[in-house]
Amino acid sequence: MELIKKYSTIILIVLIVIFASILNQVLIKEKQVAEQVPTYHFYYIGKNSTDPYWEAIEKGVKEAAATFNVVIEDATPKFSSIEEQYKALDISVLSRVDGIITYGYSEATFTEKINQAIRMGIPLVTVESDNKESKRSVYIGTSSYRLGEEAADLLVEATSGHGQILLLRNSLESGNSLDEELRVDGFTNRLRSYRTLEIIDAEINSEKAETADAVISKAFHQNPDIKAIYTPNSQDTIKASKYIVNKNLVGQVVVVGIGNSKEAINYIKKGILYGTVMSDPYLMGYKSVEMLIQVSENKNISVVADTGLRINTYESILSEEADKEKQK
């Protein structure tokens, strides 16, 4: 009888250990499953998917999503189109997503669509370009006016404050954004005190099938002594640089613009681009997800998140490359 009791106790202990082990495994699996379930479902609508600048923003968005266990549905149009942006916003609202990240067009219709999302209880973050008239939750980006001022300082360095400058911009009919206009305003206002600098304003009107090359060619034909070109967006910065190369004007005309793509960096190293100014696109993308989560969790945050700016010149790029080599 004592033997039976002894073995019964041992068997009971073994069973308890086995049961505890099984229960622990079940709890671990449940935790793993819970961790795999996304916390939020966000909708991302970039300006376009072809510009390297926006590719960097998208990379920041998607890496943040992986870090914070968020599902990102990407509805970015291939080419910049406010109509496509309207459609994507409508779909995101109808889908009742947990949050929206979008480029902030300033048109009244776009403002209303942003406000509609907010009324539906969907937090919305504008990135790179703000819509101050809307009730958007947060704006992530850099002061466009300040970017224009910094670009003006670079151009003064490049020209020693003398000569003709071509200001190449998109017309309002071509979808020129408020941020581009602010970059132009910051640029022109900064140069008002330089009496020996002459700004030649040239607009690209895509509705008239005008190209950057055609507009630049016309400007140079009328003003052959142009010493520098300023463009307030990354795509035209590359187009202007290519024009300088194709027309054998390297060393005679320099470009100051926007962007941090590999192509832009190569043009700076070759002395075609004197320099570029830009906000940090990757950081903007990353913080847009981070801030949207904070808004969703009702945390007290600023309605504007300034991601700072970066200035690329020949010297800064060589210094950065040297630092990377040292780290290796």
pLDDT above 80: residue 14: no
Angstrom distances, CA of residue 259 to CA of 93, 119, 210, 262, 280: 32, 35, 23, 9, 9
DSSP string, 65-106: HHHTTEEEEE---SS--HHHHHHHHHHHHHTT-SEEEEE---
Residue 84 burial (C-beta neighbours within 10 Å; 0-12, 13-18, 19+): middle
Phi and psi angles of residue 255, each rounded to the nearest 5 degrees, phi first: -120, 140
Q: What percent of the chain has pLDDT over 70?
A: 86
* Least confident range of 90-94, 139-143, 252-256: 139-143
Q: What is the pLDDT of residues 15-47, one digit of tens each?
A: 565 665 665 664 555 554 445 678 899 999 999
Q: What per-residue confidence (pLDDT) applies to 9?
A: 62
* pTM exceeds cut of 0.95: no
Q: What is the pLDDT of residues 259-309, one digit of tens each?
A: 888 899 999 999 999 999 988 889 999 999 999 999 999 887 888 888 888
* Helix and strand numbers, DSSP H then E, in the chain: 11, 12
Q: Please, are residues 241 and 166 in contact by the beta-carbon 8 Å criterion?
A: no
Instruction: Please name the helix (run of DSSP H) or strand (run of DSSP E) that holds residue 316, with its range, or none.
Output: helix 314-327
Q: Please, are residues 164 and 198 in contact by the beta-carbon 8 Å criterion?
A: yes
Give CA torsion, residues 315, 321, 326, 328, to 10 deg: 180
* Least confident range of 86-100, 164-178, 203-217: 164-178
The half-sphere exposure of 70 on its side-chain side, counting CA atoms within 13 A, is: 30
Q: What is the pLDDT of residues 103-155, one digit of tens each?
A: 988 889 999 999 999 999 999 999 988 888 999 999 998 888 999 999 999 99
pLDDT above 80: residue 207: no
Q: What percent of the chain has pLDDT over 90?
A: 60
Residue 180 confidence class, pLDDT cut points 50, 70, 90: confident
Q: What per-residue confidence (pLDDT) applies to 324?
A: 76
Phi and psi angles of residue 115, each rounded to the nearest 5 degrees, phi first: -65, -35
Q: Which domains does the chain have, with CATH numbers?
A: 40-142+281-308 (3.40.50.2300), 144-279 (3.40.50.2300)
